[in-house]
Amino acid sequence: MEQGTFLYVNGKKVYFDSERNVLEILRKANIDMPTFCYHSELSVYGACRLCVVEVEGRGIVSSCSTKPEPGLRINTSTSELREIRKISLELLLASHHQECTSCIKSSSCKLQEIARKLGVTEVRFSRTEKKLPVDSSTHGLLRNPNKCILCGDCVRACSEIQGIGAIDFAYRGHDLQVMPSFGQLLGEVQCVECGQCARVCPTGALTPKVTVDQIWSVLENKEKVVLVQVAPAVRVALGEVFNLDPGTDCTEQMVSALKLLGFKKVFDTSFAADLTIIEETNEFIQRKQRNKNLPLLTSCCPGWVKFAELYFPDLLGHLSTCRSPQQMFGAIAKRVISKQLGIPRERIVMVSVMPCTAKRGEASRPEFADELGIPDVDFVITTQELALMIQQAGLDFKNLPPESFDLPFGFKTGAGVLFGASGGVSEAVIRFAAEKLTGQPLEQNDITEVRGENGIRHVTFALGEHVLRLAIVHGLRNARRLLNEVKKGKLAVDFIEVMACPGGCIGGGGQPVYNDISVRKARAKALYRADKNLQLHRSQDNPYIGMLYESVLREPGSHEAHTLLHTKYINRASLFEGEVILSGSEDTNVVEVKLCLGPQCLSKGSDELLNKIVNYIAEEGLTSRVMVVAHSNAEGCSQESIYATVDGEVVERCSFETLREALLHRLSEVKEIE
């Protein structure tokens, strides 16, 4: 019998303990309240008004923003509540671009799902939608503002999970929109294409781009030899699209499907993950022995790499020079297979299936192409897109006969498979470093200390006389916190693994959409099971990796290895060139306020400060006397506070108050001169 604190739901006693709000208690009581704007990973917003309940003595309230109290009496399904929910949904539909049958989000659209559950069969309000341009400026994401319902999920995911704020609300009232700053395209702002906005978006307003038509076209080209590599996280999530339980390892059916789709060879990116471990661990040990450029920062995640180039250009010397497994694989496969088949490199097409929306941007980087401009990886599709291709081909996925990856690049160890989960790279590095430093392999391969769901994890690992200090972080907001501690000298570590997405690649923006964190945990468990089920668990034990070094690479860190497996990085601290005038005129008599919107200043809140000062100037009637200019100043970004000037004078310890004071002081000086 349950004991403790309780309240009443529809007349029945329901006990609660650590639940944050009434909505969580209702779900605990198996009442599936509809909601758009509530995510357990995000702050409570309370905008959609679908989760309304009636609390005795208080009236109708949002359950997500109501704290539980002992003895509350709650009704969840009165006729009035049902009508409120229907009206709220109909109002959303009246302003929604209803192309549901052709929308990529159709099978996972919460708007459709809730409309069906609430019994909405007609929209009783006049259509109010405006046709806005679709933003396809990034490599991996598509933003269609015509399908936005203003729930704010994407805004909070970008800010609270990633700490970036590439999109936010703009304008007011009827004109309210979610958009990048200053009306720019998503590809023109500080977006790293991680896709977490698309993951939480309940409609088709933000989705991974769909490029499967290009893949079908190249598969039908008889002049091309089309190869495919598949990342480890894909195999434990793909089955969800075909009604398999989360975490089901469907490797054999997946490989079978890819061969039936027409790919000449099906390889495993985990092979290149093993290769990455050999190169990266050797690089790490050399730095550790020389005590140079520590901590080493991992480089497998393209969202994280772009984040580092934008916000921490001063730490790029700490970033491992190793390419990601995807890019290592493309470079090696094109070189080796072109020789094996006796065909020119340009006839080989390398397709990657990735859980990540940022991988397409990574593949397009000019440093990952040969002197003729032919990329190492030609096309990248997401897990969602592979599922779409399987459906388009009419394949009965669950009942496909099992197939295995092709050799040699389909062979991997358990260490390579672990790359799909946060902590997996660190675990694989320790498995190799132990043998490299002590001459003896670990007795126990499972290093559970590096595993877990916490956004930041610290591990100290003793290997004989050597002590390795590691940090594992997922989510870029957590990465920012950790790196700021390192820069301030508050944290001493040797090795930092960073993954942009929650949980690592298993939570990537290109994976099947999930709303429950238990799905992500199930995917991680499946990768750990796959490691246990393989005969080899250490990257150095992969025999085909040894053969590759003998035939092509010679040794880790060699000239050949650096040419094919390593890379360089770009300082992206300046988001745009020149200046953007946001308020006022260019009259010579006006006072000029300039604010830096470079990445470092943005991380300190310069965009919020900009909004405040523009609104203040408008409210005080100063628009004709003050010109506000946004610019990107790399030098200014290095300051402790936001970089701002008033008529060329730097505002020290800049905040809204100090900037306003400096502005008013300068205005009074100008008036005296006049």
Q: What is the pTM of this model?
A: 0.86
- Per the prediction, the chain carries an average pLDDT of 90
Query: Which comes out higher in pLDDT, residue 650 or 127?
Result: 650
Kindly state whether residues 285 and 386 are assigned to the same domain: yes
pLDDT at 486: 94
Pick from 15, 45, 77: which residue ends a domain?
A: 77
- Per-residue confidence band for 578, with pLDDT thresholds at 50, 70 and 90: low
- The reply to whether 669 and 550 lie within a common domain is no
Tens digits of residue pLDDT in 360-392:
999 999 999 988 889 999 999 999 999 999 999
CATH number for 592? 3.40.30.10
Looking at residues 467-483, what average pLDDT do you find? Answer: 96
Count of structural domains within the chain: 4
Please tell me whether residues 446 and 349 are part of one structural domain.
yes
Higher pLDDT, 253 or 292: 253
User: Has residue 671 got a pLDDT over 80?
Assistant: no
The CA-based diameter of the chain, rounded to the nearest angstrom, is 86
Query: pLDDT for 600-634, tens place per residue?
Result: 777 777 877 887 888 788 788 888 888 888 877 65
Residue 534: strand, helix, or coil? coil
Q: Is 377 left (phi over 0), alpha (psi -120 to 50) or beta?
A: beta
Q: Quick one: 559 and 594 in the same domain? A: no
Sign of CA dihedral 310, 314, 315, 321: positive
Residue of 148, 158, 123 whose CA lies nearest to 36: 148
229 and 125 belong to one structural domain: no
Same domain, 69 and 162: no
Which of 565, 589, 621 corresponds to the end of one domain? 565
Instruction: Give the pLDDT band (50/70/90) at residue 2.
Output: low
Tokens representing residue 589 in the block: 């008599």
Virtual torsion, Cα 608, 611, 614, 617, nearest 10 deg: -70
Based on the fold, state whether residues 244 and 193 are members of the same structural domain: no
Q: Can you tell me the mean pLDDT for 77-97?
A: 85
CA distance 451 to 472: 9
- Is the pLDDT at 36 greater than 90? The verdict is no
> Which phi and psi (to 5°) does residue 70 adopt?
-60, 135
Question: Same structural domain for residues 187 and 218?
Answer: no
The 10s digit of each residue's pLDDT in 171-194 is 877 788 899 977 789 998 889 999
**Residue 90 covered by a domain:** no
Strand 591-596, strand 644-646: pairing? antiparallel
Are 633 and 599 in contact by the 8 Å Cβ rule? The answer is no
Cα gap 553→324, rounded to integer Å:
17
Regarding whether 235 and 369 lie in a shared domain, the answer is yes
| The pLDDT value given to residue 633 | 66
What's CA 325's distance to the chain center, in Å? 18
Q: Which residues are catalytic?
A: 280, 283, 300, 320, 359, 362, 367, 505
User: Tokens representing 275?
Assistant: 């290769």
d(CA 24, CA 31): 10
Provide the domain limits for residue 636. Answer: 579-673
Lowest mean per-residue pLDDT among 20-34, 99-113, 361-375: 99-113
Confidence bin at 1 (pLDDT 50/70/90): very low
pLDDT in tens, 158-169: 999 999 989 998
